Amino acid sequence: MNQALRAAMVDAGETAESLAEQVGVDPKTVARWVAPGRVPHPRHRAAAAAALGRDIEDIWPDVLKRREPSWLRPWVETELQATALRSFQVAVIPGLLQTPEYASAVLSSGLLAPDEVAGYVETRMRRQSSVLERRKPPLLVAVIDEFALRRGAADIMHPQLDHLVRLAQRPNILLHVLPLDAGLHPGQAGPFVIATTEDGDVAYLDDQAAGRLTNDTAALWSTWDTLRSVALPRRQTIDFLEARSWLT
C-alpha cells in the first residue's frame, strides 16, 4: 500500500472519487494507486500531487531516483536556480519543451537500451516540471532551427508541435524558429544554453560524449544575439508552428 498517498489524501480531505475528478481518471484507478501502490503516469502524478498540495517526491519517491548522468547534474542544479534560460537547438527540440513521446523517440535513437529509455524519459519530464512549473518559473527563450522541426515521424511531431504552441502562450516562454531561408549562421557550431543566475551567467554546451558548463559566455552571447536577429518573431513563430506545411 502507498501509505504516503493515503496519508496525503486524508490530510487534504480527498477521497478516491474527488481526487479522480481533479486528476481526470476513474476512481478505480486512484484506488489502485493506493492499494497495491501502482505508479501513475507522470502527468497524473503531477496533477495528483498538486491537488494534494504535496511534492511528487513525497508521494512517489522511488520513481524519482536520479537517472541523469553524473556530468549532467551540475547543469540540472543550475536550471533550478536560473532566473532566465536562453536555449539554442539545431537538431532537436529543447529537452524542457519535449513531449514524452518525442523524448522517447529521441532517446531511443541513441545508445540507450530499450529498458533504459523509459527511466530517462521520466527524468526529463521531472526536470521539465521542476523548472517550468515552479512557483516562479524562469524566463525561457528558445531559438529552434527549422531542421529540428522537420525531423521526426508525423504522428510524433504533430503532438510535439501542438505542445510547443501551447507553451508559447505562456508569458515566460518565448519561442523563435530559425527558418531555413536564414542561411548559414554561427549556431551551426552546436547547441547551447545560457542560464542567468544570481551568481552570474553559466552556459551549457553539449557534444557527442558529454556536456560541460562554462562561465566564459561572452562569445555565446554574441552568437545568441545573431541567432535572435535572424529568427522569426514570437507571433510569426506560433503561426509557423500552427501551419506546419511540411508535415503531412
Cα separation, 177 vs 231, whole angstroms? 6
Q: What is the pLDDT of residue 150?
A: 95
Q: What is the pLDDT of residue 42?
A: 65
Q: What is the pLDDT of residue 65?
A: 56
Residues 6+ apart with CB under 8 A from 155: none
Phi, psi of 227 (to 5 degrees): -65, -45
Residues 6+ apart with CB under 8 A from 52: 8, 9, 11, 12, 14, 19, 59
pLDDT tens, the chain, 248 aa long:
788 898 999 999 999 999 999 999 999 989 988 876 567 766 788 889 999 998 887 887 765 555 677 778 889 889 988 999 999 999 999 999 999 999 999 999 988 888 788 888 988 998 999 899 888 999 999 999 999 999 999 999 999 999 999 999 999 999 999 999 999 999 999 999 999 998 899 999 987 767 899 999 999 999 999 999 999 999 999 999 999 988 97
The cell numbers describing 35, all together, are 492499494
Please, what sign has the CA dihedral across residues 124, 102, 109, 193?
negative
Is beta strand 200-206 parallel, antiparallel or unpaired with respect to 192-197? Answer: antiparallel
Stated as kind and residue range, the H or E segment containing 107 is: helix 100-108
Cα separation, 33 vs 167, whole angstroms? 29
Query: Do the beta carbons of residue 203 and residue 194 sit within 8 Å?
Result: yes
